[in-house]
Amino acid sequence: MIKIIADTTCGLPLDVLRQAGIEVLPQIITFGNETFRDDTEMDTESFLTKLRASKTLPGTAAPPPALYTPIFEQILAAGDTAFVITPSTKVSGTFRSATVAASEFHTDKIHILDSNTIAGGLGSLVLAAHKWVNAGLTIDELKENVEEMASRERLFFLAPTLEYLYRGGRIGGASKLFGTLLQIVPILTIKQGQVDTFDKVRTLKQAVRTIIDLTAEYCKDNPEPYLTVSQCDSEPLLSQVSQELSAATGILDIPQYTVPPAIVVHVGPGLIETSCFIARS
What DSSP assignment string belongs to 94-159? HHHHHHHHHTTT--SSEEEEE-S--THHHHHHHHHHHHHHHTT--HHHHHHHHHHHHTTEEEEEE-
pLDDT band at 164 (very low <50, low <70, confident <90, very high): low
Q: Which of 150, 177, 205 is the last residue of a domain?
A: 150
Would 266 be classed as within a structural domain? yes
**Predicted pLDDT at 166:** 56
Q: In 72-89, which positions are buried (b, 16+ CB within 10 angstroms) versus exposed (e)?
A: beebbeeeebbbbbbbbb
Could you tell me the residue range of the domain that residue 237 belongs to?
153-277
Would 34 be classed as within a structural domain? no
CB 95 within 8 A of CB 114: yes
CATH of the domain at 11: 3.40.50.10170
Q: Which of 110, 135, 150 is the last residue of a domain?
A: 150
User: Residue 16: left (phi > 0), alpha (psi -120 to 50), or beta?
Assistant: alpha
Q: Are residues 115 and 7 in the same domain?
A: yes
Q: Are residues 6 and 76 in the same domain?
A: yes
Q: Are residues 177 and 260 in the same domain?
A: yes
CB 162 within 8 A of CB 186: yes
Degrees to nearest 5, angle at CA 196 with 213 and 198: 25
Would 40 be classed as within a structural domain? no
**Predicted pLDDT at 281:** 78
**Predicted pLDDT at 158:** 87
Q: What is the DSSP letter of 234?
A: -
Terminal CA-to-CA distance of the chain, rounded, Å? 31
Q: Are residues 196 and 167 in the same domain?
A: yes
Q: Are residues 183 and 264 in the same domain?
A: yes
CATH of the domain at 163: 3.30.1180.10
CB 242 within 8 A of CB 255: no
Would 247 be classed as within a structural domain? yes
CB 91 within 8 A of CB 48: no
Q: Is the pTM of this model over 0.85?
A: yes
Q: Are residues 96 and 195 in the same domain?
A: no
pLDDT digits (tens, 9 = 90+) for 258-270: 999 999 888 888 8
Would 220 be classed as within a structural domain? yes
Would 12 be classed as within a structural domain? yes
Q: Are residues 175 and 89 in the same domain?
A: no
Beta strands 34-37 and 28-31: pairing type? antiparallel
Written as one letter, the residue type at 50 is K
**Among the listed residues 96, 73, 92, the one whose alpha carbon sits nearest the alpha carbon of residue 27:** 92
Q: Are residues 163 and 271 in the same domain?
A: yes
Could you give the number of structural domains in the chain? 2
Q: Are residues 11 and 123 in the same domain?
A: yes
Q: What is the DSSP letter of 225?
A: -
Q: Which of 86, 116, 150 is the last residue of a domain?
A: 150
Beta strands 81-86 and 2-7: pairing type? parallel
Q: Are residues 109 and 228 in the same domain?
A: no
Would 54 be classed as within a structural domain? no
Answer positive or negative: Cα dihedral of 245, 250, 256, 259. negative
Pairs from 248-253 (Cβ < 8 Å, separation ≥ 24)? 248/212, 248/213, 248/216, 248/219, 249/216, 249/219, 249/220, 249/225, 251/219, 251/225, 251/227
Q: Are residues 170 and 84 in the same domain?
A: no
**Predicted pLDDT at 195:** 84
Distance CA 26, CA 37 (A): 6
**Among the listed residues 64, 112, 118, the one whose alpha carbon sits nearest the alpha carbon of residue 90:** 118
Would 57 be classed as within a structural domain? no
**Predicted pLDDT at 202:** 82
Query: What's the farthest any 2 CA atoms get from each other in the chain?
Result: 58
Q: Are residues 157 and 135 in the same domain?
A: no
pLDDT band at 163 (very low <50, low <70, confident <90, very high): low
> Please, what is the average pLDDT of the chain?
91
Give the range among 1-5, 198-202, 229-233 with minimum mean pLDDT. Answer: 198-202
**Predicted pLDDT at 262:** 93
